[in-house]
């Protein structure tokens, strides 16, 4: 007897993340000057795995970068450092944007998602953020959600900008 495995013509996927506002990055300046001295991430960024969203407010517009990490606290802390490197990655470029924004006294907001669910063709399970595949899938879904949210062209999504340059 021969068994033929049927595959669906399409697969429905729904992913839900539970975003939580971790807070704003803060900065200190050298005494008596406007020179940026140090940047601190919000203290409530968890040490566990998940997805993060960094948002820089620029008048009525926003600059957004979404990423994932096994340790969100360490990942977000990366953006607070100055990077003396010739290699311009998403992280180093967005770090520079964060420094510029804080130097200009603009807000840099950090949101995190450490839980969520995924439903694939009727089978639902919780996201296991410790698994890199679940985090990357959640990151991609969050980026696509930002694209959908940006009906007025007021959100500059860095994930998209840099991907366009690569391809």
Tell me how far CA of residue 21 lies from CA of 24, 56, 82, 103, 150, in angstroms: 9, 14, 24, 22, 20
Residue 4 has pLDDT above 60, yes or no: no
Residue 116 has pLDDT above 90, yes or no: yes
The pLDDT of residue 6: 62
Domain borders along the chain are: 21-166
- Cα 14 from Cα 29, distance rounded (Å): 44
pLDDT band at 86 (very low <50, low <70, confident <90, very high): confident
Is the domain defined by 21-166 classed in CATH 3.40.1440? yes
85 versus 140: which is more confidently predicted?
140
Long-range contacts of 63-66 (CB under 8 A, 24+ apart): 63/97, 63/101, 63/155, 63/156, 63/158, 64/146, 64/155, 64/156, 64/157, 64/158, 65/90, 65/94, 65/157, 65/158, 65/159, 66/139, 66/142, 66/143, 66/146, 66/157, 66/159
Least confident of 63-72, 84-93, 149-158: 84-93
Residue 167 has pLDDT above 50, yes or no: no
Q: Is 48 exposed, middle or buried (0-12, 13-18, 19+ CB in 10 A)?
A: middle
The pLDDT of residue 79: 87
Q: What is the mean pLDDT of the chain?
A: 85
Query: Under DSSP, is residue 40 helix (H, G, I), strand (E, B) or coil?
Result: strand
What are the pLDDT digits (tens) for 142-163? 998 988 888 787 888 888 554 5
Q: Angle formed by the axes of helices 158-166 and 132-149, to 10°?
A: 100
The pLDDT of residue 166: 42
Angle at 15 between CA 10 and CA 16, to 5 degrees: 155
pLDDT band at 110 (very low <50, low <70, confident <90, very high): very high
- Cα 98 from Cα 79, distance rounded (Å): 8
CA dihedral 75, 77, 79, 83 (to 10 degrees): -110
Question: Is 26:43 a contact under the CB 8 Å cutoff?
Answer: no
């Amino acid at each position: 007897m021969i068994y033929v495995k049927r595959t669906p013509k399409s697969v429905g996927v729904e992913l839900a993340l539970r975003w939580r506002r971790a807070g704003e990055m803060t900065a200190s300046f050298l005494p008596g000057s406007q020179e940026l001295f140090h940047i601190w991430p919000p203290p409530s960024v968890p040490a566990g795995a998940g997805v993060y969203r960094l948002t820089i407010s620029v008048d009525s517009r926003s600059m957004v970068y979404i990423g994932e990490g096994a340790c969100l606290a360490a990942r977000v802390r990366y953006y607070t450092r100055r990077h003396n490197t010739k290699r311009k990655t998403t992280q180093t470029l967005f770090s520079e944007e964060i420094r510029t924004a804080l130097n200009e006294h603009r807000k840099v907001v950090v949101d995190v998602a450490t839980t969520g669910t995924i439903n694939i063709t009727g089978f639902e399970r919780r996201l296991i953020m410790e698994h890199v595949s679940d985090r990357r899938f959640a990151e991609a879904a969050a980026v696509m959600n930002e694209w959908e949210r940006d009906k007025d062209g007021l959100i500059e999504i860095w994930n998209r900008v840099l991907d366009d340059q690569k391809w």
